[in-house]
Amino acid sequence: MPVTAKICGLSTAATLDAAIAGGASHVGFVIFPPSPRHLGLDRLAGLAARVPDHVRKVGVFVDPDDDLLMASVAAGGLDVVQLHKTTPGRVAHCRGLSRAQAWAAIAVKTRADLDGAPGFVGAADRLLYDAKTPEGAALPGGMGVRFDWEVLRGFRHPLPWALSGGLDVANVAEAIARTGAPLVDVSSGVESAPGVKDMDKIAAFLQRVSAS
Ligand SMILES: O=C(O)c1ccccc1N[C@@H]1O[C@H](COP(=O)(O)O)[C@@H](O)[C@H]1O
């Protein structure tokens, strides 16, 4: 199976179009005000309208309340809700409410951080292994932090999964080769500054993934 890629944290039409033209299977929109990539509902709707049906639209949330989740799913026609810092019970609730696919982000630093993964069976459609950001960090993701991919070696994934955290054009081929990731997810690795996506970096990243 070819490896697929999600380009996350898109906030302009030009960079969104670059991700689509480059072959991204998923595009991500962050709905979390502390993030430099945060989109309000109007901008979310405008960008989402540009996305063709064969590309999945992912909304990225940090333990959202029901009103924000539902308003965002409606505005963006979201196919997937990616949920950070959210319990299995809340993930199941969000999936039922939104009728979108639900991805549960698991913050990983050590092998023990995978212990909670089986708890998402029946609640989530996919697990996203993302690097744990430093204690007290403003964001639980999108900071270019990488984890030791060896912690995934031999792990029996209880659900479909994806890899994220500190990926970029220089390391994504190795990440895929070492982990067998079926889907990779990148945000800051295709930026020139926090929140500023770079079209050339997006194209190069997607080319490297498709060659893997
Ligand atoms: O990108 C953000 O601002 C963000 C905010 C809140 C939660 C998650 C966020 N991003 C996600 O983080 C990972 C990895 O990002 P990076 O490549 O290390 O910068 C990715 O899944 C984004 O969806």
Distance of CA 102 to the CA centre of its chain: 11
Q: For 97-146, how does the pLDDT look when each residue is reduced to its tens digit (9 = 90+)?
A: 999 999 999 999 999 999 999 999 999 999 999 999 888 888 888 889 99
User: Confidence class of residue 3 from pLDDT cuts 50, 70 and 90?
Assistant: confident
pLDDT for the residue numbered 112 = 96
Protein residue whose Cα sits closest to atom 7 of ligand 1: 141
Q: Decide: 187 in ligand 1 pocket, CB within 6 A.
A: yes
Q: Whose CA is nearest to atom 23 of ligand 1?
A: 8
- 98 CB under 6 A from ligand 1? no
Q: Which residues contact 93 (CB under 8 A, 6 or more apart)?
A: 66
Please provide the average confidence, as pLDDT, over all residues in the chain: 96
Q: With bands split at pLDDT 50, 70 and 90, how would you rate the model's confidence at 47?
A: very high
Average pLDDT over residues 58-69: 96
Ligand 1 atom with the shortest distance to the CA of 187: 17
In this structure, the strands spanning 196-197 and 191-193 are antiparallel
User: What is the model's pTM?
Assistant: 0.94
Amino acid in the structure at residue 22: G
- Binding site membership of 118 for ligand 1 (Cβ less than 6 Å): no
Q: Which ranges of the chain does DSSP label H, i.e. alpha helix?
A: 13-21, 41-48, 66-76, 88-98, 172-179, 199-210
What domains, with CATH codes, occur in the chain?
4-210 (3.20.20.70)
Distance 143 CA to ligand 1 centre (A): 7
